[in-house]
Chain A
Amino acid sequence: MSDFDAIIVGGGLAGLTTAYLLAKADAEVLLIERGNFAGAKNMTGGRLYSHSLEKIIPGFAGEAPVERRIIREKISLMTDDSSVTVDYYSPGLTLPGQDSYSVLRADFDQWLAGKAEDAGAQIVTGIKVDDVLRENGQVFGIIAGGDEMTAGVTVLADGVNSLLAQKIGLRAELPPHQVAVGVKEVIELPAGVIEDRFQCPSGEGSAWLFAGQPSGGKVGGGFLYTNKESVSLGVVCTLSDLITGAATLPRLLENFKNHPSVAPLVVGGKMIEYSGHLVPEGGLDMAPRLFDAGVLTTGDAAGFCINLGYTVRGMDFAVGSGECAAQAILAAKQAGDFSAETLGCYKTALDESFIMKEMNMYRKFPHFMENTPRIFAGYPEMASDLMNQLFVVNGRDQRHLYQKAGRSLKTVGALNLTLDALKGVRAL
């Protein structure tokens, strides 16, 4: 007889969701977190799309420590000294089930941990899991600090650097072209100042993504999310491309922060935290084996993340995969069988959920981004040039608009533009 029905490694959104749902269903569940509290090691850009957690805890945003509900979406193409921005403001972004929130994980994850504990899950913090227990290929628990604890199922919810998943052969080392590194500053500003600068009502905020200058023209981009009394400003770059450049990642972030269109947004703010994190951006092509006898992988450890450039998602996948894991564990517990065959229902649940449907749908997109360098160096300059043709009045240039636009398009070539657009649309 095992000590627990399930032992979950990692107190992020995937692990906490699994713990909460299992405890609610009266399963014996232990979650082990290496930080001093759930959330202590967790970091996001970031924004949480509510749909998957809403299904599990309806109305969660009313009680959880979310930062701001996102009512404004912006995307900018930036050169060193200019930016072209699409700005979409709509109450439609805030309708129940399709709303999203900026979050800071230290607070948010502790709240979810509290929900899991209230439901009956045991959570221990400040303990690092060193290894899993295995016999004849069957995982049956963990070793932490010399202590062994056994479980029907061990859930690897230990994030993008899942050393345990690598150790037991569920996944290979992450290839540098499928992983991006993010660096972020949390910059404190009064709520009223944020609402003025980002043109948002009280309690609501904006999400803003940037291409071009923030990543120094490399595969990547910048982000700026409004929190209650801070903003999260950061840069994300694909590792394989970042190391071919001239600028260090901290330098890129500093340049981005000093960009003439960004600096006024954060001026007077006080940096209160500096963080970094890896993002699994390879899509389905980097997905590990998701389960084996007695073990499941979830969230970032499973590579569940989609970056389309205009939306970046990982946390809603973490929650969704946590839910699928809980379903599979309950089914296995019922059957009294924790073999790979029985736990295969985890994959079935994922396949039937939004997770695999969307991971499959966008399978080609990471490849497209990686192989279309003009998105990051080429199109931002073209957009800026085009705007320059439109808006600059100097009494000297009497060409028709189509002639002016033609000149801008020539910078990348009409054929390239057409082909990239077609490839992009097909990958979406």
Chain B
Amino acid sequence: MSYVNVDEKLGVNKFHVDENNAHIVLKDNPALAEYHKLFLACPAGLYKIDDNGVLRFDCAGCLECGTCRVLCGETILAKWEFPSGGMGIEFRYG
């Protein structure tokens, strides 16, 4: 199945990126089966698996939907918070 460039789509959005505070933190060595759920369900495609099978996650670009929290908040997420006030996604349309 071909790759969808979600990063490019996220590029049109307005974000206030909080460089000093990652609001979602993944546990070390997350269970693959759990991670795969997020690979499928994250609308922002932030839970990546590269060609070598390496897991790559960065919470910049998060749409703050909460999908990963609901699916894996108890398993492979070390932290899920809303970004600090005024930070994160800012919908211009919504």
Q: Which residues of A contact B (CB under 8 A)?
A: 34-36, 39-44, 104-107, 109, 125-128, 144-145, 160-161, 163, 173-176, 179, 181-183, 185-186, 230, 237, 239, 242-243, 245-251, 253-254, 271-278
Most B C-beta atoms less than 10 A away, residue of A35, A127, A230:
A35
Among B12, B16, B67, the residue within 8 A (CB) of A272 is B12
Least CB distance from B63 to A in Å reads 4
List of B residues within 8 angstroms of A182 by Cβ: 43, 65
List 3 A-B pairs, minimum CB-CB distance, nearest first: A276-B43, A105-B94, A126-B86
A333 to chain B, nearest CB (A): 28
Given A106-B92, A145-B85, A277-B63, also A161-B69 (CB < 8 A): yes
Chain A residues lying within 8 Å of B71, measured Cβ to Cβ, are: 176, 239, 243
- The prevalent SS among residues of B at the interface is loop
Q: Are A239 and B70 in contact (CB under 8 A)?
A: yes
Main secondary structure of the interface of A (DSSP, over half): mixed
Task: Check A239–B12 contact: CB distance below 8 A.
Answer: no
Whether B44 is near chain A, meaning CB under 8 Å from some CB there, is yes
B interface residues with partner A (beta carbon < 8 Å): 1, 4, 6, 9-10, 12-13, 16, 36-37, 39-45, 63-67, 69-71, 73-74, 81-86, 88-94
Residues of A within 8 A of B91 (CB): 39-43, 105-106, 273, 275
B7 to chain A, nearest CB (A): 10
- Within the assembled complex, what's the spacing in Å between the Cα atoms of A275 and B41? 13
Check A247–B90 contact: CB distance below 8 A.
no
What A residues does B41 contact at CB under 8 A? Answer: 181, 237, 239, 242-243, 248-249
Partner of B70, one of A39, A176, A249, A271: A176
Determine the chain A residues whose CB is within 8 A of the CB of B70 once the complex forms.
Answer: 173-176, 179, 239, 278
Give me 29 A-to-B residue pairs in the complex whose CB atoms sit less than 8 angstroms apart, sorted by A's number: A34-B85, A35-B90, A36-B86, A41-B89, A41-B91, A43-B91, A43-B94, A44-B94, A160-B66, A161-B64, A161-B66, A179-B70, A181-B41, A182-B65, A185-B9, A239-B70, A239-B71, A246-B1, A248-B4, A248-B39, A248-B41, A248-B45, A249-B43, A250-B6, A250-B43, A272-B12, A273-B91, A274-B13, A275-B43
